[in-house]
Amino acid sequence: MTTTTLSPPMTGATEPRARFVDLVAAEWIKLRSLRSTPWALLITALAVVAFNVGEAYDTYRYWSAEEADEAGHRARFIRDGIPLQEAFTPNATMVLMLAAGAFGALAIVGEYRSGLIRTTFTAVPARRSLMAAKALVVAAVTAALGVLVAGASFWLTQAILSGRDAGVPISHPGAWRVVVASALLAPVAALAGLALGALLRHAGSAVVAAFVLLVVLPGVLSDERHWSAVAGHTLPYRAWLRLVETGAPPSPYPWTTGGAWLVLALWPPLAAAVAVIAGDRRDL
């Protein structure tokens, strides 16, 4: 008689490691499932476009009869770059940066506040991959927002100014630079907010810190001193100003457009790296 020995069930079998694409999909589902997400994006888009359109409409409305009959005035208006200045205004830029920064901060702070982050890290112990996936989703969503508001603002403002024969096409020198630089501000600010949220883990503190970093600090740092000018040039808002301005930079310490592009290019990966490291090394 032969005795057969049965192997015990493999209850402790190791589950396959989650693929990065699966983590990205999960983060996307979490973000879009929040009721506040579409409303926040919609309100931000409408507010930003409204600021820009309002500026262009004021120009259209108060264009005097004498100016309307003067072809030279239109030429000076375009030559001075005013149509591009009204395509995306500083007020709209601040609204976009604040909203995107708060969006990025709340994308991570909300999970810490609700305790969902513990469940998430338990299900996916690879914290760095998880935080990288979150950063990618936040960047992608806000980049789409930036493209939408920058493109819509340019098209609408130039359409309004064209009523006075003062609008410019997208092929006009400098037009693409304004649109691309303005669109980039949304993911830059959002990832900065995400990094601050991962570091501070408190909604109010993260939003205030984003406001100080993105809006207050650029106004505090002066171009009158070399160290202050250099520090200011490292900030996204000042980089945007350099890219959209016309003529020679009004500063004793001018910098190049290439340097401004470099600032906007470096902020997203650096901010994402801070968020990933903070989420990986800090205790819950």
Per-residue pLDDT of the chain (284 residues), as tens digits, is 444 444 445 444 455 666 889 889 988 988 888 888 999 999 999 999 999 999 999 998 888 655 555 667 778 888 888 999 999 999 999 999 999 999 999 999 888 887 777 877 777 778 888 899 999 999 999 999 999 999 999 999 999 999 888 899 999 999 999 999 999 999 999 999 999 999 998 889 999 999 999 999 998 988 888 899 899 999 999 999 999 987 656 678 888 899 999 999 999 999 999 999 988 776 65
The tokens for 131 are 């935080």
Question: Which pLDDT does position 216 carry in this prediction?
Answer: 94
Give the alpha-carbon dihedral of 260, 265, 266, 271, to 10 degrees. Answer: 120
Side-chain-side CA neighbours of 66 within 13 Å: the count stands at 0
196, 88 Cβ separation under 8 angstroms: no
| Contact indicator for 91, 51 with CB cutoff of 8 Å | yes
Cα(119)–Cα(137) distance, rounded to whole angstroms? 19
Cα 120 to chain center, whole Å? 26
**Other beta carbons less than 10 A from residue 205's beta carbon:** 15
Place of tokens 């600021």: 51
CA distance 177 to 183: 10
CA 86 to chain centre: 20
CB distance 52 to 92 below 8 Å: yes
- Tokens 């309002």 — which residue? 54
What is the pLDDT at residue 47? 97
